[in-house]
Structure 1
Amino acid sequence: MEIRALRGPRAADGRASTIVRIDPMNLRMSAILAGGLAVGAAVLALVLYLPEQPGFTAPDGPRWEAVQSEIPTGKAVRLEVRLVTAGGAPVVSGITVTSPRLDMGPDGMAAMTAPLKRVTGSAPGAIAFETEIVMAGRWALTIAANVEGRPKPVSGVVIFTASEKRTEAAPAAPAAGERRIVYYRNPMGLPDTSPVPKKDSMGMDYIPVYEDEMSGPDGTIRIAPEKVQRAGVRTAVVARRQLARSVRGAGTVTADESRLAVLTAKFDGFVEELFVSLTGAQVVKGDPLVRVWIDSQEILQKQADFLGALKGGRDDIERAAGNLRLFGIPDEVIAGLRRTGKPVRSIVLTAATSGTVMEKPAVVGMRFDQGSTLFRIADLSTVWVLARVAERDLTAIEIGQRAGITLNADASHEIEGRIAFVYPELDASTRTAVVRIEVSNAGGKLKIGQYADVAIEAALTKTPVIAVPASAVLDSGTRQVAFVAKDGGVFEPRDVVLGLRGGGLVEVREGLAEGERIVVSGNFLIDAESNLRAALATFTAHQAPQ
Structure 2
Amino acid sequence: MASRKIVSQVLLVLAALAAGGAGTYFWMTKGSSFLQFTKTAKEVAGRGAAKGERKILFYRNPMNPTVTSPVPAKDEMGMDYVPVYEDEVGAGGSTVAGYSTIKVGAESLRLAGVQTAPAVREKISRSVRAVGNVVPDETRIRRVQTKIEGWIEKLHVSFTGQLVTKGQPLLDIYSPELVASQREYLLAIEMRERMKENPYLEEKEMAEQLVQSSRRRLELFDVPQSFIAELENTRKPRRTVTLNAPVSGYVTAKDVFEGTRIMPGMELFTVTDLSRIWIEADLYEYEAQKVRLGQEAVLTPAYDPRLRLKGRVSYVYPTLSPESRTLKVRFEFPNPGLRLKPQMYADVFLELETATGVVIPDSALIETGLRQIVFVDLGGGSLEPREVNVGVRGDGKAQILSGVKEGERVAVRANFLLDSESRLRAALTAMTGGGTSPAPQPQGQPSSQGRPQSQEPAPSQGGHAGHGGAR
TM-score (norm 2): 0.62
SS in 1 for 2:167: coil
The answer to whether the 8 Å contact 1:170/1:196 transfers is no
Q: Say which of 185, 196, 201 aligns to 1:302.
A: 185
The answer to whether the 8 Å contact 2:60/2:83 transfers is no
* 1:271-350 alignment, distance < 5 Å: 271-296=152-177, 297-306=180-189, 308-309=191-192, 321-350=215-244
Q: CA deviation at 1:47?
A: 9.2
Q: Say which of 421, 427, 435 aligns to 1:538.
A: 435
The answer to whether the 8 Å contact 1:247/1:457 transfers is yes
Separation in 1, partners of 2:312, 2:395: 20
- The letter for the 2-side match of 1:276 is V
Separation in 2, partners of 1:302, 1:275: 28
Summarize deviations over 1:145-195 as a string: whole Å, max 9, x none.
Answer: xxxxxxxxxxxxxxxxxxx995797327778xxx95666998979859999
Separation in 2, partners of 1:411, 1:277: 32
Separation in 2, partners of 1:391, 1:168: 55
Separation in 1, partners of 2:173, 2:299: 44
Separation in 2, partners of 1:377, 1:274: 15
Q: Which residue of 2 aligns with 1:171?
A: 47
Q: Which residue of 2 aligns with 1:512?
A: 404
Q: Which residue of 1 aligns with 2:445?
A: none
Q: CA deviation at 1:398?
A: 2.7
Q: CA deviation at 1:271?
A: 1.8
Q: CA deviation at 1:224?
A: 3.3
Q: CA deviation at 1:347?
A: 2.8
Structure 2 CA distance for partners of 1:496 and 1:174, relative to 1, 3 Å: same
Q: Which residue of 1 aligns with 2:136?
A: 255
Q: CA deviation at 1:474?
A: 3.9
Structure 2 CA distance for partners of 1:23 and 1:437, relative to 1, 3 Å: closer
Summarize deviations over 1:12-48 as a string: whole Å, max 9, x none.
Answer: xxxxxxxxxx996xx9xxxxxxxxxxxxxxxx7x997
Q: Say which of 362, 377, 382 aligns to 2:271.
A: 377
Separation in 1, partners of 2:28, 2:316: 68
Q: Which residue of 2 aligns with 1:360?
A: 254
Separation in 1, partners of 2:223, 2:2: 119
The gaps in structure 1 that reach 5 residues or longer are: 1-21, 28-43, 52-98, 116-131, 137-163
Q: Which residue of 1 aligns with 2:460?
A: none
Q: Which residue of 2 aligns with 1:423?
A: 317
Q: Does 2:353 align with 1:472?
A: no
SS in 1 for 2:229: helix
Structure 2 CA distance for partners of 1:369 and 1:387, relative to 1, 3 Å: same
The answer to whether the 8 Å contact 1:307/1:338 transfers is no
Q: CA deviation at 1:345?
A: 2.6
The answer to whether the 8 Å contact 1:181/1:208 transfers is no
- The letter for the 2-side match of 1:301 is E
Q: Which residue of 2 aligns with 1:32?
A: none
Higher strand share goes to which structure? 1
Summarize deviations over 1:46-77 as a string: whole Å, max 9, x none.
Answer: 9976x8xxxxxxxxxxxxxxxxxxxxxxxxxx
Structure 2 CA distance for partners of 1:525 and 1:257, relative to 1, 3 Å: closer
- The letter for the 1-side match of 2:218 is L
Q: Percent identity?
A: 33
The answer to whether the 8 Å contact 2:73/2:80 transfers is yes
Superposition CA RMSD, Å: 5.5
The answer to whether the 8 Å contact 1:268/1:370 transfers is yes
- The letter for the 2-side match of 1:328 is D
Q: Which residue of 2 aligns with 1:484?
A: 376
Separation in 2, partners of 1:424, 1:307: 60
Summarize deviations over 1:513-538 as a string: whole Å, max 9, x none.
Answer: 34433222223444555566664771
Separation in 2, partners of 1:254, 1:478: 40
Q: Which residue of 1 aligns with 2:387?
A: 495
The answer to whether the 8 Å contact 1:197/1:205 transfers is yes
Separation in 2, partners of 1:430, 1:224: 48
* 1:69-218 alignment, distance < 5 Å: 102-104=15-17, 112=21, 170-171=46-47
Separation in 2, partners of 1:425, 1:169: 67
Separation in 1, partners of 2:307, 2:78: 53
Separation in 2, partners of 1:415, 1:397: 20
Q: CA deviation at 1:280?
A: 0.8
SS in 2 for 1:170: helix
Q: Which residue of 2 aligns with 1:523?
A: 415
Structure 2 CA distance for partners of 1:476 and 1:268, relative to 1, 3 Å: closer
Separation in 2, partners of 1:309, 1:205: 121
Separation in 2, partners of 1:457, 1:479: 27
Structure 2 CA distance for partners of 1:445 and 1:518, relative to 1, 3 Å: same
- The letter for the 2-side match of 1:369 is M
Structure 2 CA distance for partners of 1:337 and 1:365, relative to 1, 3 Å: same
Q: Radius of gyration: which is bigger?
A: 1
The answer to whether the 8 Å contact 1:384/1:439 transfers is yes
Q: Which residue of 1 aligns with 2:293?
A: 399
Summarize deviations over 1:391-412 as a string: whole Å, max 9, x none.
Answer: 77653443245678899x9799
Separation in 2, partners of 1:212, 1:392: 44
**How many equivalent pairs are there?**
404
Separation in 1, partners of 2:213, 2:61: 99
Summarize deviations over 1:480-515 as a string: whole Å, max 9, x none.
Answer: 532222455443332334568778666644322344
- The letter for the 2-side match of 1:292 is I
Q: CA deviation at 1:352?
A: 1.4
Separation in 2, partners of 1:291, 1:135: 90
Worse-matched range after superposition: 254-263 or 476-485: 476-485
Q: Which residue of 2 aligns with 1:351?
A: 245
The gaps in structure 2 that reach 5 residues or longer are: 30-39, 95-100, 197-203, 439-466
The answer to whether the 8 Å contact 2:173/2:240 transfers is yes
Separation in 1, partners of 2:59, 2:112: 15
Structure 2 CA distance for partners of 1:415 and 1:208, relative to 1, 3 Å: farther
Q: CA deviation at 1:229?
A: 2.7
SS in 1 for 2:331: strand
Q: Which residue of 2 aligns with 1:270?
A: 151
SS in 2 for 1:363: coil
- The letter for the 2-side match of 1:354 is S
Structure 2 CA distance for partners of 1:517 and 1:343, relative to 1, 3 Å: same
